[in-house]
Structure 1
Amino acid sequence: MKKALADALTQRRYETLTPVQKAVTEAQLQNADLLVSAQTGSGKTVGFGLALGETLLGTQDNFGSAEAPLALIIAPTRELALQVKRELAWLYAPAGVVMASCVGGMDMRDERRALGRGAHIVVATPGRLRDHIMRGSIDLSAVRGVVLDEADEMLDLGFREDLEFILGEAPDDRRTLMFSATVPKAIATLAKSYQRDAVRVTTVAETKPHNDIKYHAMTVANHDAENAIINILRFYEAPNAIVFCNTRAMVNRVTTRLSNRNFSVVALSGELSQAERSHALQAMRDGRARVCVATDVAARGIDLPGLDLVVHAELPNNHETLLNRSGRTGRAGRKGESCLIVTAKLRRKAERILQAAKLVAEWGEAPA
């Protein structure tokens, strides 16, 4: 491992690497393209940061002056992209990194100026990065490594064409690392087309979903679901919790009820501006708010450190969404709780979703 990266880990008091971090930094994989199965919360951002160390720094311990980017990190949502940027900024700080981001919802002129000044690593969402390439405001000729983070999510969101365009514009001799919670046929096809003899990496921890999360299925009377949310939050007294709803209307309704009961609460739904979303997430991070009420789309890719509790105010529609929601807790070795509120008429649906996710939940009544 590069000294600069080892120093950064020491400063952050990292004592051991997670399974995915160990797997992708094996010496024999130093120059290989990788297709990695990794759940949200497995420490994969630091993992691909470490994996790229040798590729980006070569024989040096520090970066030279920042010019055309050496690495592109592509993520499905702006929250995830900005979160990845923050993680890589501290990891590569001792090496003198200059970071830039290209994400939808931000000022394109500011991004163009930052790219013009030079950056070693650019973190981007697919659509915005494609715009910059087409306008000639980013030079990819020096790129040595490309990471597709949450590749399955990007394909689900319809970014296939953008990704194919970006990968087609990057130098042929680059390294390409793909990280994906699942590897369906579409991901395997993408890997075959744009990676060279990719090595498949699956760690033991990822073969059993969510080892560090305890699942509870809590039964309530049909008219009592909203009271159950309040009682669960009070019962667990988690420093940080997220409550998932299926619609914006339900988010607004639950947020109002919790606020009326003196919970410090913020809402995340698609109708918020980027500034409002950033403000809500920052309130959770710095402790001004303890509960975040969100829709699935609004919560995609967000990372709230120290999140101990996930409450499913409404059941998700499928097992993938259940795993995605619950993966906000139990991250990087921490323990977490995931509570499904199950009304009598939805019991069969809950059983079906848990079975499809290969999860065993503890069944019981919601706290009174």
Structure 2
Amino acid sequence: MQFDSLGLSPRLINALNEQGITDPTPIQTEAIPHALAGRDVMGLAQTGSGKTAAFGLPMLDALMKNGRKAEPKTPRALILAPTRELARQIHDTLATFAQGSHLKLALITGGVGFTPQIERMSRGVAILVATPGRLVDLLDRRSVDLSKTEFLVLDEADQMLDLGFIHSLRRIATLLPKARQTMLFSATMPKQMEEIAAAFLTDPVRVQVNPPGQAVAKIDQYIHFVAKAAKTDLLIELLDKHRDELAIVFGRTKHGSEKLARQLENAGYAVAAIHGNKSQGQRDRAIAAFREGEVRVLVATDVAARGIDIPSIRHVYNYDLPNVPENYVHRIGRTARAGANGTAIAFCAPDEMGELRDIEKAMKARIPVASGAPWEGVPESAARSGARPANKPRQGQGRPGANSSRRPAQAGGAASAGKPAGQKPRRSGPRGKPKAA
């Protein structure tokens, strides 16, 4: 199936063709016809599956057919995203699709001053892409009026709940007209999502292409069991094998990610870091340099787990395992974009075995081992004993890091890492809601 069979206008088909996009992804094939028919849509799909076009194309199609000029402060369409990076990606993607039309877009996020955003809204925009917190700030200043909004999109709704935006969403819901079309997209379905769906959606069509928690099939996953002190040396050894390709390295904390970026820079890599202590300008410049290839390695916290869509990313490293299992799938979803292949490599220290168990349980799959062995003294997970292998490597491909299998052995087992055999290691951090990125 191709886009021209989904009912989109020739103008949008031409815009897609100019970018070399002809074949819709499964979520686009399922969602676009319902959205074009005016139905509310609840979409369940993993990051990297093409959700932006799934909701953006039918919305643009409807707005383009109605040539009404945008009114000051009053967006005709509102798209909410949990992070600045994701909001920027959505804005830029839709701006490309809408190029040459009468539709004007605005981006409203934190990290920048209010005045330029207020002035932009006063000139009138058709499509507003915003993070919930900053949108509420502008609503309080009476700089945005949602009373005539015709289209609403909630993207990555599960992460908005994780980040504590539930109260902002409730407030926004009361300001929107009931006569509108709403689309909600999420990678997972926590219990609280039912409340959000009931508040925003009316008789929605539910479309789902991947079971929640399942990674994209074209990502080859591997894990190295390695002592914490040996992680950096192993990372450098693996990065050396593809210096000319883009890689994202995920850490858990802001301080740890900044320190790791400095270590990689001292090792001769073109590297940048993004995390919550960076200003929005610094984060935007780092991503732009990464996108252009001026920076080859991006070290990030989970602020980059969703919202970076760069097709040339070939490698994702989980230097620290996330303490929210679903974030693992979102992290590795930064690779294998737009139908490409990618590799995701995770490091597991003795005190991260609990996180690994939870990740494999959430994915209902075990991650193939590239080097080392599960640390002694930590019970095997139920997922490991009964799960299928996760995305076996393609035929003829060797395991990355095979030459580094000595590292966990050199670092020693659980005992040499300060965890006597038979003793369960202390958890690396609180479970549940992640620390601020």
* Same-fold call, TM cutoff 0.5: yes
Q: Deviations over 1:188-209 (max 9, x none)?
A: 2211122111111112587843
Cα deviation, residue 230, structure 1: 0.5
- The aligned counterpart of 2:85 is 79
- Counterpart residue type for residue 151 of structure 1: A
Q: Pick from 69, 78, 83: which aligns with 1:65?
A: 69
CA distance in 2, matches of 1:173, 1:165: 17
* Partner SS, residue 122 of structure 1: strand
Contact 1:33 1:199 in 2 (8 A): yes
- The aligned counterpart of 1:131 is 137
- The aligned counterpart of 1:119 is 125
Alignment partner of 1:210 is 2:216: yes
Contact 2:213 2:326 in 1 (8 A): no
Q: What pairs up with 1:16-27 in 2 under 5 angstroms?
A: 16-26=23-33
- The aligned counterpart of 1:15 is 22
CA distance 1:206–1:308, shift in 2 (3 Å): farther
- Counterpart residue type for residue 63 of structure 2: L
- The aligned counterpart of 1:186 is 192
Cα deviation, residue 245, structure 1: 1.2
Q: Give the unaligned 5+ runs of structure 2.
A: 1-7, 372-400, 405-437
Cα deviation, residue 6, structure 1: 1.2
Contact 1:7 1:94 in 2 (8 A): no
CA distance in 2, matches of 1:211, 1:272: 33
Alignment partner of 1:53 is 2:46: no
CA distance 1:221–1:110, shift in 2 (3 Å): closer
Alignment partner of 1:357 is 2:363: yes
Cα deviation, residue 100, structure 1: 1.0
CA distance in 2, matches of 1:12, 1:69: 27
CA distance in 1, matches of 2:10, 2:100: 9
Contact 2:213 2:363 in 1 (8 A): no
Alignment partner of 1:288 is 2:294: yes
CA distance in 1, matches of 2:174, 2:258: 43
Q: What pairs up with 1:262-277 in 2 under 5 angstroms?
A: 262-277=268-283
Q: What pairs up with 1:312-323 in 2 under 5 angstroms?
A: 312-323=318-329
Q: How many residue pairs align between the two structures?
A: 365
Alignment partner of 1:229 is 2:235: yes
CA distance 1:205–1:43, shift in 2 (3 Å): farther
- Counterpart residue type for residue 23 of structure 1: E
CA distance in 2, matches of 1:276, 1:238: 23
Contact 2:247 2:315 in 1 (8 A): yes
CA distance 1:145–1:219, shift in 2 (3 Å): same
CA distance in 1, matches of 2:58, 2:340: 23
CA distance 1:207–1:244, shift in 2 (3 Å): closer
Contact 2:314 2:343 in 1 (8 A): yes
Instruction: Output the TM-score relative to the length of structure 1.
Output: 0.92
Contact 2:34 2:205 in 1 (8 A): no
Contact 1:30 1:51 in 2 (8 A): no
CA distance in 2, matches of 1:325, 1:228: 20
- Counterpart residue type for residue 289 of structure 1: V
CA distance in 1, matches of 2:266, 2:184: 45
CA distance 1:238–1:23, shift in 2 (3 Å): farther
Contact 1:215 1:337 in 2 (8 A): yes
Contact 1:238 1:308 in 2 (8 A): no
CA distance 1:219–1:236, shift in 2 (3 Å): farther
Contact 1:5 1:95 in 2 (8 A): no
Alignment partner of 1:40 is 2:47: yes
- Counterpart residue type for residue 135 of structure 2: L
- The aligned counterpart of 2:342 is 336
Instruction: Output the TM-score relative to the length of structure 2.
Output: 0.78
Q: Pick from 169, 174, 178: which aligns with 1:168?
A: 174
* Partner SS, residue 261 of structure 2: helix
- The aligned counterpart of 1:327 is 333
Q: Pick from 242, 254, 269: which aligns with 2:248?
A: 242
Cα deviation, residue 176, structure 1: 0.8
CA distance in 1, matches of 2:43, 2:134: 25
Contact 1:55 1:145 in 2 (8 A): no
CA distance in 2, matches of 1:351, 1:10: 44
CA distance 1:25–1:340, shift in 2 (3 Å): same
Q: Deviations over 1:31-73 (max 9, x none)?
A: 1111110211111111111131344234x5xx44332321001
Cα deviation, residue 315, structure 1: 2.0
Contact 1:5 1:94 in 2 (8 A): no
Cα deviation, residue 284, structure 1: 0.2
CA distance in 2, matches of 1:347, 1:194: 39
* Partner SS, residue 332 of structure 1: helix
Q: What pairs up with 1:81-100 in 2 under 5 angstroms?
A: 81-100=87-106
- The aligned counterpart of 2:204 is 198
CA distance in 1, matches of 2:215, 2:109: 30
Q: Pick from 6, 13, 30: which aligns with 1:6?
A: 13
Structure 1, 293-302 or 316-325: larger mean CA deviation: 293-302
- The aligned counterpart of 1:30 is 37
CA distance in 1, matches of 2:148, 2:196: 23
Q: Report the RMSD for the aligned CA atoms in angstroms.
A: 2.1
* Partner SS, residue 66 of structure 1: coil
* Partner SS, residue 196 of structure 1: coil
